[in-house]
Amino acid sequence: MSKFFSNKYKALTPYTPGEQPTEMKYIKLNTNESPFPPSKKAIELGAKALESLELYPDPECGELTRALAEYYEVDPECVLVTNGSDEILNFAFMAFCDKEHPCAFADITYGFYKVFAELNGIPYREIPLKEDFTIDPADYMGTDETIFIANPNAPTGIALPRDTIEEIIKSNPNRIVVVDEAYVDFGGESCVPLTKKYDNLLVTQTFSKSRSMAGARLGYGIASKELICDMNTIKYSTNPYNINRATMYAGLGSLIEQEYTDKNCQTIIENREYTAKELKGLGFYMTDSKTNFLFAAHPTLEGGKLYRELKAKGILVRHFDKERISNYNRITIGTKEQMKALIDTVKVIMEEAK
Ligand SMILES: *Cc1c(COP(=O)(O)O)cnc(C)c1O
């Protein structure tokens, strides 16, 4: 740390992204990317946009905003497109929380919530998940805090029904509820329709997972006009051109070719069920995942050891060195071939451990 670093940030612990190794080719099941390339239309429109890089992009990201609005059947003024959904989550912390208006989220959830709270000097409360890693909705009712819920949750993969989230929204009319739906396309129930009914709900989604576009950095939020307007104030005070030209057009291409995303999600769900069954056959236990990953542990094969041995054999998964979940690994669902390789390698590791 330099002597020039602002006192404001000295105590900040930044987010630790999953490994993105460049030194060798792993079977990469550690950061919940899609194993499939982006849609052809996304590649085509994104590449075409590179021909006009001398020009700033549209600060309103109008074409994509309108396309998303049409897809979700909401007003374009109720949509805000951002540089990954991480950006809109940060906007939400900045716009809707402060020292007097603290926030709350689960003790085991997306690690960035805590970082954004600390970055922005916002007091936060971590609400413990139940023993089985499910959320107790009662813990979130009427707390008068800004609530952040990943639904389905990460890294547990567990989803709450829309009705339950609606109860939480209703119980907290004076504070915002942010529902992070990064994984909703893999079997969850989206709360987007509720944004028309409640002025205190923000739903965020991303092109990073189901749409195979993690490298493009594209996310968005859907909420009432007023909430979107507040977050636009933050956007235009930090980075008005937050979406680059190629990303915007690639996003449009992805929406045009919606059936490609739907098919890929279906394949991931099938591969997830296959992998879950195989791992259970080997004695693993796991949560009921509605995402593109499994959260699994074994009674005799320690989580950290499994992570290290898989890595040594060329397969990367995500291990969190955190109390309560240190025996688990989060395994991204890839192609059928990748999942077969994972199962075979786990079998070898279990043989060797005998
Ligand atoms: C991946 C992820 C995000 C952010 O993804 P972006 O790539 O920034 O769009 C947000 N929330 C959760 C729970 C995630 O897993």
pLDDT digits (tens, 9 = 90+) for 121-176: 999 999 999 999 999 999 999 999 999 999 999 999 999 999 999 999 999 999 99
Candidates 114, 153, 206: which one to mutate for ligand 1, based on the most atoms within 8 Å of Cβ? 206
| Distance from Cα 87 to the centre of ligand 1, integer Å | 10
> Which helix (H) or strand (E) element contains residue 77?
none
Mean pLDDT (the chain, rounded): 97
Dihedral of alpha carbons 171, 68, 218, 62, sign? negative
Question: Which residues sit with their C-beta closer than 6 Å to ligand 1?
Answer: 84-86, 110, 150, 154, 180, 182, 206, 208, 214, 219
pLDDT at 17: 87
pLDDT at 13: 92
pLDDT at 20: 87
> Which helix (H) or strand (E) element contains residue 352?
helix 336-353
Strand segments (E) across 166-281:
177-180, 201-206, 219-223
pLDDT band at 210 (very low <50, low <70, confident <90, very high): very high
pLDDT band at 69 (very low <50, low <70, confident <90, very high): very high
Judge whether 177 and 201 are in contact, CB under 8 Å: yes
Atom of ligand 1 nearest to the CA of 153: 13
pLDDT(23) > 90 = no
Q: How many whole angstroms separate alpha carbon 122 and alpha carbon 295?
A: 30
Q: How many helices (H) and strands (E) does the chain have?
A: 10, 12
pLDDT at 18: 84
pLDDT band at 255 (very low <50, low <70, confident <90, very high): very high
Q: Which of 22-26, 47-51, 60-64, 262-266 has the lowest mean pLDDT?
A: 22-26
pLDDT band at 24 (very low <50, low <70, confident <90, very high): confident
Q: How many whole angstroms separate alpha carbon 239 and alpha carbon 249?
A: 19
| Two tokens, residue 112 | 């960035």
- In b/e form, how buried is each residue of 304-315, taking b as 16+ CB within 10 angstroms? eebbebbbebeb
pLDDT at 230: 98
pLDDT at 81: 98
> What percent of the chain is modeled with pLDDT above 70?
100
Q: How many whole angstroms separate alpha carbon 66 and alpha carbon 78?
A: 10
pLDDT at 70: 98
| Distance from Cα 128 to the centre of ligand 1, integer Å | 21
Q: What amino acid occupies position 26?
A: Y
Judge whether 220 and 204 are in contact, CB under 8 Å: yes
Judge whether 313 and 209 are in contact, CB under 8 Å: no
Q: What is the mean pLDDT of residues 215-223?
A: 98
pLDDT(352) > 90 = yes
Residues near 272 by beta carbon (within 8 Å), at least 6 away in sequence: 186, 289, 291, 292, 293, 294, 333
| Distance from Cα 85 to the centre of ligand 1, integer Å | 6
